[in-house]
Structure 1
Amino acid sequence: MSNSAAPQGEVQLDLSDVDHRLGQLVGGGQLYDPCAPGDIRRWVMAMDYPNPIHWDEEFARKSKFGGIIAPQSIAVCLDFGHGAQPAVVGHIPGSHLIFGGEEWWFYGYRVRPGDKLFQERRFHDYKITDTKFAGPTMFSRGDTIHRNQHGTVVAKERSTGIRYLAAEADKRKMYEQKLPPKPKWTAEQIAEVDKVRHDWILSNRMGVSPIFGEVKVGDRLPRRVIGPHTIASFATEYRAFAFNMWGSYAWVAPEGVKDPWVNQDPGWVEGFGFDEEGAKIDPRKRDGLYLGPSRGHVDEEKAGEIGMARAYGYGATMGAWVTDYLAYWAGNDGFVRYVKSDFRGAAFEGDVTYFDAEVVETQAETAWGVPLVTVKVKLTNQDGAAVVVATGQVELPVG
């Protein structure tokens, strides 16, 4: 679906380079190296996901897996550009991007050290909506299929990118006007946050899976918390994505596609673009954090230029948080089959993010051929404002 007729007004998105790319396969970055144990450990550290089967070698060897395995959320870590590449297609002058949400389908394969993922990407569709944040705003969706080195389908992601005119968002300053001041946390409050975090870690550290027949509608999952978020934690998250290492990927294009979208400029505003030629000598010029579209995540001044008021976290990270949260509850014999996450707000610097979830349905027979438990998940900040609203379907053992 497309809707190239933007709402009437003085401000318009230039979609002249977008429409002819609808439904088309697109390119992007392909990692050179297979997944290493260090990649897994760095990823769960950045996601604050201390499940020992992903980082503790001795613990993992004694588990059913016989060694460290990757969390299901690793697929986005082993992709290029936070999985957003097929949702950011076409040059829109003066634009920027934030994430709007993700859907993930998982097909039963668990990534291990030595595996290498390959991506097939396609620009799915878009629509234009008038928003208080930035006026005419594009909600674009792109699909990525992840296969391993044997051709086995590991996962599919459908990402939603929110593309808007940075100058219009800066002019409206929605977050600057509505965002509360950066929280100041007392020692007692931090201790309370740490207790919730610690209790969640202990809630299923041994990986014991709930039995499908014993799970009931209305059951609540243990509460989780991450934060307070800081510039350091945002930088740690960004650096965990494998493509951010210098020289870690090559540009690839789909065969047989005329004018494929690979590494073209989406139209970033001044100060947020890359220096592709310069990066051949100095790789920091295509780093993304020091220079590039992710600068606003760790630089309050740059965040203000794109309408975000202060430093903030990553959409791909929030999606991974939800998958990890469900997987921890599911245990070693469970498996997350599907997650749909809608991003309702940002995890801003200074905030904490709470996770709460409830079982809303159980299905003994499903299209997956396995029993599934449907879980509603909500992530909120310390003021109760929604950050993510998600639905997950989790496979559990029958006994």
Structure 2
Amino acid sequence: MTTDPSEPEITELDLSDVEHRVGKPVGGAQLWEPCSASDIRRWVMAMDYPNPLHWNEKFARESEFGGIVAPQSIAVGLDYGHGAQPACVGHIPGSHLIFGGEEWWFYGARVRPGDKLYQERRFHDYKVAETKFAGPTMFSRGDTTHTNQHGHLVAKERSTAIRYLSAEARKRGMYENRLGEIKRWTQAELDEVAKVRHDWILSNRAGVSPRFDEVEVGDRLPRRVIGPHSIATFTTEYRAFLFNIWGTFGWVAPEGVEDPWINQDPGWGADFAFDEEGAEIDPRKRDGLYVGPSRGHIDADRASEVGMARAYGYGATMGAWCTDYLAYWAGNDGMVRHSKADFRGPAFEGDATYFDAEVSGKERETAWGVPLVQVELRLTDQQGGVLVSCTAEIELPL
């Protein structure tokens, strides 16, 4: 670790630059280019989502869509800042950020190659609570609306960011004390993981949607597994978010807002800050993974600096995993209309993530104008520790 012991320790969250921003539109960035088929393929590869509709040209052309179509989860991949931009607003000295959850609403417009998404962002609210992980901790929420080049509403997201003092999390060492050695999987265990993964792929590769009247409360969805996670998989995930590629975006601000919080310093520690001026010559200096706030995801030493103990995955990725899993079950004639995922803990290096879900309710008449099935989904590690608790409403054909 490279923290400077001469710097005064910060023990309280300074929210003086946060309060006056509540409820206001905020800026961020916009991707220059439209979505391409290769962007879609890169995304599903990184999310380990082998639905052939999203990568296999021959299969997709023979489908009802007539060609490659993106998964619903790609909305966050075509955004800036992993979807957390409007929830990370205001300068908080000595702070770091992890993801706390996502809520999504999908309005029916599919994303195809050649489409371009545009975002409007707003800082919704925040609250402060004491946590075992880092003491005084801010839970802030921000809203993003995604529309396409035709002005059609694609999706809305409400993201939750957890902002905390790095030094306090480091001092408490919750994960340092809780985690043992990185798991080493036996060949028999890896074979079992591969079988669960393969069985899930085969469970609905053809994209057949279950009929609303055929689904019963208590029905269990096929089990899925992703992992074991590694620095290689975390890096692959990070690079699929297109804003992380050099030069892919430009800064944007809402009109008429005096202080739109576009590219200001959130207060990261020295080891996690961007070098904006240097990046004009060497783009790696604001790359995020090599230099910037995501360094801890692939570097155990950096992870320890912010209280995470070892390399770990991305909250936005876990949210995408949930959407993909539910959409795969819903099939080509179904759609995830609403989901709310609370992130309980990260996917750590060496662990695997299991998906288990059950139908919890049905409504034929809904505000969406379509029949909906409610599903409860949990993501757990190989020891049963809960990573994500998710509820969803899924449209199915009659």
Same-fold status (TM-score > 0.5): yes
- Indicate the residue corresponding to 2:203 in structure 1: 203
2:242 is aligned with 1:233:
no
Displacement of 1:12:
1.2
Displacement of 1:92:
0.1
Superposed CA offset, 1:2-40 (max 9, x none): xxxxxxxx9210001001111010000100000000000
State how far apart, in whole Å, the 1-side matches of 2:286 and 2:189 are: 39
State how far apart, in whole Å, the 2-side matches of 1:245 and 1:168 are: 32
State how far apart, in whole Å, the 2-side matches of 1:162 and 1:67 are: 39
2:265 is aligned with 1:262:
no
State how far apart, in whole Å, the 2-side matches of 1:342 and 1:180 are: 25
Displacement of 1:179:
1.7
Aligned-pair RMSD on alpha carbons?
0.6
Output the amino acid matched with 1:229: H
- Indicate the residue corresponding to 1:308 in structure 2: 308
Output the amino acid matched with 1:166: S
- Indicate the residue corresponding to 2:98 in structure 1: 98
Output the amino acid matched with 1:294: S
Secondary structure of 1:43's aligned partner: helix
Displacement of 1:110:
0.6
Instruction: Judge which range, 242-251 or 223-232, deviates more.
Output: 242-251
State how far apart, in whole Å, the 2-side matches of 1:135 and 1:372 are: 40
Output the amino acid matched with 2:141: R
State how far apart, in whole Å, the 1-side matches of 2:137 and 2:154 are: 32
State how far apart, in whole Å, the 2-side matches of 1:177 and 1:96 are: 20
- Indicate the residue corresponding to 2:168 in structure 1: 168
2:191 is aligned with 1:154:
no
State how far apart, in whole Å, the 2-side matches of 1:77 and 1:366 are: 29
- Indicate the residue corresponding to 1:214 in structure 2: 214
Output the amino acid matched with 2:143: D
Superposed CA offset, 1:341-373 (max 9, x none): 000011000000000000000000000000000
2:385 is aligned with 1:385:
yes
Output the amino acid matched with 2:225: V
State how far apart, in whole Å, the 2-side matches of 1:280 and 1:70 are: 32
Secondary structure of 1:392's aligned partner: strand
Structure 1 length-normalised TM:
0.97
Secondary structure of 1:332's aligned partner: coil
Instruction: Judge which range, 24-33 or 178-187, deviates more.
Output: 178-187
2:321 is aligned with 1:321:
yes
State how far apart, in whole Å, the 2-side matches of 1:67 and 1:220 are: 31
- Indicate the residue corresponding to 1:43 in structure 2: 43
- Indicate the residue corresponding to 1:4 in structure 2: none
Percentage identity across paired residues of the two chains? 74
Output the amino acid matched with 1:125: D
- Indicate the residue corresponding to 2:117 in structure 1: 117
Structure 2 length-normalised TM:
0.97
Displacement of 1:260:
1.1
- Indicate the residue corresponding to 2:56 in structure 1: 56
- Indicate the residue corresponding to 2:128 in structure 1: 128
State how far apart, in whole Å, the 1-side matches of 2:273 and 2:59 are: 44
State how far apart, in whole Å, the 2-side matches of 1:259 and 1:393 are: 37
State how far apart, in whole Å, the 1-side matches of 2:74 and 2:22 are: 28
**1:337-352 matched pairs, under 5 angstroms:** 337-352=337-352
Displacement of 1:181:
2.1
Output the amino acid matched with 1:100: G
Gaps of 5+ in 1: 1-9
2:353 is aligned with 1:353:
yes
- Indicate the residue corresponding to 2:282 in structure 1: 282
State how far apart, in whole Å, the 2-side matches of 1:265 and 1:153 are: 31
- Indicate the residue corresponding to 1:5 in structure 2: none
Output the amino acid matched with 1:30: Q
2:188 is aligned with 1:188:
yes
Secondary structure of 2:116's aligned partner: coil
State how far apart, in whole Å, the 1-side matches of 2:259 and 2:342 are: 32
Secondary structure of 1:360's aligned partner: strand
Superposed CA offset, 1:169-223 (max 9, x none): 0000001111232111001100000000000000000000000000000000000
State how far apart, in whole Å, the 2-side matches of 1:182 and 1:377 are: 26
- Indicate the residue corresponding to 1:77 in structure 2: 77
Output the amino acid matched with 2:325: Y
Superposed CA offset, 1:247-269 (max 9, x none): 10000011000111001010000
Superposed CA offset, 1:308-346 (max 9, x none): 000000000000000000000000000110010000011
- Indicate the residue corresponding to 1:137 in structure 2: 137
Secondary structure of 1:271's aligned partner: helix
Secondary structure of 2:270's aligned partner: coil
State how far apart, in whole Å, the 2-side matches of 1:261 and 1:386 are: 34
Displacement of 1:132:
0.5
State how far apart, in whole Å, the 2-side matches of 1:258 and 1:102 are: 28
- Indicate the residue corresponding to 1:178 in structure 2: 178
State how far apart, in whole Å, the 2-side matches of 1:369 and 1:153 are: 16
Output the amino acid matched with 2:221: L
State how far apart, in whole Å, the 2-side matches of 1:110 and 1:356 are: 26
Gaps of 5+ in 2: 1-9
Output the amino acid matched with 1:318: M
